């Protein structure tokens, strides 16, 4: 990221947002990058004072940026710039607010992609089957090795037995790790679909955030806002299997430093640290391929959960609370998906459609 002579002003603005607006770390990072890129462009054009920037300059900046960025990205960039200049004006850093009438690009309304209920069921069934298959291999492989070894022990020297033990132990560790990862993956998929939480919320969860007695989780969402979300029996079973059997296996692979940092983490990566968003996304993409359903992201599971809950008769306000939407308008998008699906089913099933 390029630095500018206005970095101090940008830092102060971001600090103000962090203290007063409760924005997420990702949003603050994006705003900082947007403002740095914008002001760097003006700096290249010879601007040395924020008061020199006019509305026409900002429109010129938007024209340049819009060549390489989608409308959704431009909308965020515009919000960042408008907020920044409103702040500089309020705090006496500029004598006017050149961005006051800067228009935010309109974003075309698109319906979120969702899985059908049968596709979601297939996705979760395949993940559950993978757990059962790996557990069978793990237990069966160990038993087979034991039977084979006992039958031939009399014909082997002590040296040969000792040499064969190390690879056998390594194979067993590998089998245990693969089983643990499949248990983790199944729990992640079940929880994402059961609760509709965001992937960032998933990876930041701690074990203490789960209340098995009430079958709820405590979720820390955007702006550090907390909410309580229920989950069903299949998710409970998957979480219990992961916590009781899989998590201890992956936790043992961690170094002491990693182990201390991830001691409370709900989900772990292959090396025993807290799982990151990239790995969680890969798990969902890979599971979709293996299940033969459309390639999806964790956010599509969120969309699917919301749509299926509404289809089941849930109240719109309840779904808004569950998803952590600040605006009911955002949640209403899912009613449009349900209506579209209803129209499709109607067209397929009704003879006079």
Catalytic residues: 198, 222, 299, 302, 325, 334
Max CA separation in the chain (angstroms): 93
Partners of 210 in beta bridges: 217
Six-digit token string for 223: 């702006």
Q: What is the dihedral of CA 179, 180, 182, 184, to 10 degrees?
A: 170
- Helix, strand or coil, per DSSP, at residue 274: strand
Instruction: List, in order, residues 6 or more apart from 152 with CB less than 8 Å away.
Output: none
Partners of 211 in beta bridges: 216
Tell me the angle at which helices 328-349 and 316-323 cross, rounded to the nearest 10 degrees: 120
- Helix, strand or coil, per DSSP, at residue 266: coil
In whole angstroms, how far apart are CA 87 and each of 12, 43, 55, 245?
10, 20, 16, 52
Half-sphere exposure of 36 (CA within 13 A, CB side): 15
C-alpha closest to that of 140 among 169, 183, 174, 175: 175
Six-digit token string for 174: 């590998």
What does the alpha-carbon distance between residue 134 and residue 186 come to, in Å, rounded to a whole number?
12
109, with CB counted inside 10 A (0-12, 13-18, 19+), is exposed
How many CB atoms neighbour CB 139 within 10 A? 12
- Helix, strand or coil, per DSSP, at residue 318: helix
Q: Residue 84: phi, psi to the nearest 5?
A: -65, -50
C-alpha closest to that of 202 among 182, 218, 216, 181: 218
What does the alpha-carbon distance between residue 337 and residue 323 come to, in Å, rounded to a whole number?
16
């Amino acid at each position: 990221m390029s630095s500018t002579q206005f970095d101090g002003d940008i830092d102060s603005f971001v600090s103000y947002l962090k203290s007063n607006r409760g924005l997420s770390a990702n949003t603050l990072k994006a705003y900082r990058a947007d403002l740095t890129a914008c002001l760097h462009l003006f700096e290249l054009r010879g601007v040395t004072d924020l008061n020199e920037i006019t509305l026409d300059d900002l429109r010129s900046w938007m024209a340049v940026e819009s060549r390489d960025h989608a409308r959704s990205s431009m909308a965020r960039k515009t919000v960042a710039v408008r907020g920044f200049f409103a702040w500089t004006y309020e705090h006496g850093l500029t004598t006017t607010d050149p961005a006051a009438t800067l228009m935010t690009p309109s974003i075309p309304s698109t319906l979120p992609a969702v899985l059908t209920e049968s596709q979601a069921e297939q996705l979760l069934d395949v993940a559950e089957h993978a757990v059962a298959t790996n557990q069978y291999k793990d237990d069966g492989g160990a038993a087979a090795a034991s039977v084979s070894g006992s039958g031939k022990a009399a014909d082997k020297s002590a040296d040969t037995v000792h040499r064969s033990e190390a690879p056998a132990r390594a194979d067993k560790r590998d089998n245990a790790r693969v089983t643990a990862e499949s248990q983790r993956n199944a729990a992640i998929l079940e929880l994402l679909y059961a609760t509709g939480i965001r992937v960032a919320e998933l990876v930041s969860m701690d074990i203490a955030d789960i209340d098995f007695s009430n079958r709820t989780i405590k979720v820390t969402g955007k702006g550090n806002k907390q909410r309580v979300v229920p989950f069903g029996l299949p998710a409970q079973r998957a979480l219990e299997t992961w916590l009781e059997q899989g998590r201890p296996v992956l936790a043992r692979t961690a170094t002491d430093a990693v182990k201390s940092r991830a001691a409370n983490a709900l989900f772990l990566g292959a090396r025993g640290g807290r799982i990151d968003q990239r790995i969680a996304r890969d798990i969902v993409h890979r599971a979709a391929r293996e299940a033969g359903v459309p390639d999806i992201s964790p956010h599509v599971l969120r969309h699917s959960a919301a749509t299926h809950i509404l289809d089941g008769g849930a109240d719109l306000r309840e779904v808004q609370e569950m998803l952590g939407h600040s605006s009911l308008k955002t949640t209403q998008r899912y009613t449009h998906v349900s209506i579209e699906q209803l129209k499709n089913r109607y067209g397929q099933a009704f003879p006079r459609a």
